[in-house]
Structure 1
Amino acid sequence: MNEQEHPGWTHVYSGKVRDLYVPTSLLVDDDSWTGDPLRLSPVVLVVASDRVSAFDQVLEPAIPGKGAMLTELTRWWFEQLPDIPNHLAYPEDDRLESLDLPEVPAVLADRATLCRTLDMFPIECVVRGFITGGGWKEYQATGAIGGIPMPEGLSNGDPLPEPIFTPAWKAPMGEHDENISYERTVEIVGETVAAQLRELSLEIFARASVLAEARGLVLADTKFEFGADRATGIVTLADEVLTSDSSRYWDAATYATAATPEQRMASFDKQIVRDWLAANWDQDDTEVPPTLPHEIVEQTAAKYRELLDRLTTGA
């Protein structure tokens, strides 16, 4: 059995860092059928791998324990947001009672989430509370972020006057996502859904920022994904939420006292990997990226663990 074969489940998709499975019993037993298996199944098993990506490349080796840590943190955030509809498949859901679902394989349990399949919106819902990353580059060039004018004189890492919603269009696999305006979001998903995506994203960010602050952390920015519940049409939070892979967190004490922008914005994510790769690879797509050194892998895993512990235990 290879790593994508598990009794009762059929592997249907792999992204850079996630694998998707559906119950084999719900698939069409017809080799001539070429439709989307996710349209057939009301549930999907989302498995977070230990793979790590940077500059659109999956790197070697993986980060030990990464998938389990991201899954645990997402589950924890769902618990902190009980009034925000999410994609978890609860046993008491009467839509699932009639399904004879297979057991989640024990080997996947700590990094697998059983979810209801949604009609996903092709919008990456980015919220920025501080100016950094791509937002800083855009501000330097245009004085705006996501097309939204910003005050003059901001420095890299500064707080914005208020959090802003800067969406991106999720391009088909193999293509790059594209930053878009709110007006373009309306064109893609409609005025009602666009307004809901913006409102929910800003609300979740605000609530998460307060909780992070109480644990000595700054939530600089994050990205969310949403889909429509197939039975009710309700806009529903999906995928990973407020994790090291989807968000920038900074240490609040360091942010307040560090002498340089680089020091105050040291983050709890794979920035260590990005920095090392940028210094040791010319990002030539025709070449295989170099293997990550053991110390880079260990430092990255430690950062993921530190964020998980600080958020979930307050340690």
Structure 2
Amino acid sequence: LWQRRTHDMLYPKQLPMVLGTASRPSINIGEMKNTGFDLELGYSNTALNGDFYYSADLVVSRYKNELTKLTDVATDFYQGSGYREKYYTRTQTGHAFPEFYGYVVEGIFQSDEEAAAWAPAFGTYNKAGHFKYKDISGPDGVPDNVINAYDRTYIGSPHPDFTAGLSLNIGYKGISLMTTLYASVGNDLVNYVSRFIDYTQFESGKSKRRLYESWGSPHLKNNADATMPIIYANDTPHQEPSTAFIEDASFLRMKTLRVGYDLNRVLNNKFSSLQIYFQGSNLFTITKYSGLDPEISGAGINMGIDSGAWPTRKQFIFGISFGL
């Protein structure tokens, strides 16, 4: 078990919009609390008169991050960097650093009548085939039958519920097998790439999903099965930061697999060690995430935004190791 408290963090001060592009001065602010635990279990044994051996090591980790104070004003917040005028993360007292912030999409309007009966969004946005944004709040803190900036809320977190690593080692009469598995469970990602390939942020390079799964597509037997809103030229309201871009990025990945054979057994121990081996890295990943890679790098205020970084590559190595 562990706990860490951090004080006087250096961060750029939020400035009023009327100051335009003025540089933000860095100031010492805030208090953050991190708590968690790390659990390690291991076991090893032999059998068949020592010809067969095996071992397993499991490490499970969990942490919780909370900003206990940002400034002296409880309602102050910091938002992440703008991604083509859209902001996906926010940090505020009582929440993790950071969390995803935006609108909640409750589905897609199936008719103009349904759209007309819903809380109006962004002027005249509500139409058949468009997103159905949830009315969460208003100026008085209660739903006001209008969809606007007051209806944004915390919609996900890049922080996992827990991570786990498992190492296995097996050997039998000179043949050895070692593997390492890694899992991250409960973390979300913003699939920012979807803005480019599923919507009209850019005109070219669209996805198969946009053509086959959009509301109104001739490839759909029933519009109720659509996973995306209707295609139209200026779909900027589709692209608002929302749960439509948040995906479960939990995954299980085989980090390494190594298979070897001790050649000294057939050469009467002419060397102190002699092994031929094959090693593969990142051989498979099990995940529901639709992006290129659920394991992305990055931390800080923009943690968890997948902007299309190069995915983790597979590697294959064949080699011989020996000692004289």
The question of a shared fold, defined as TM-score above 0.5 by the shorter chain, is answered with no
* TM-score normalised by length of structure 1: 0.21
Write 1 or 2 for the structure with the bigger share of helix. Answer: 1
Between Structure 1 and Structure 2, the one with more strand by share is 2
Structure of higher CA gyration radius: 2
TM-score computed with the length of structure 2 as normaliser: 0.20
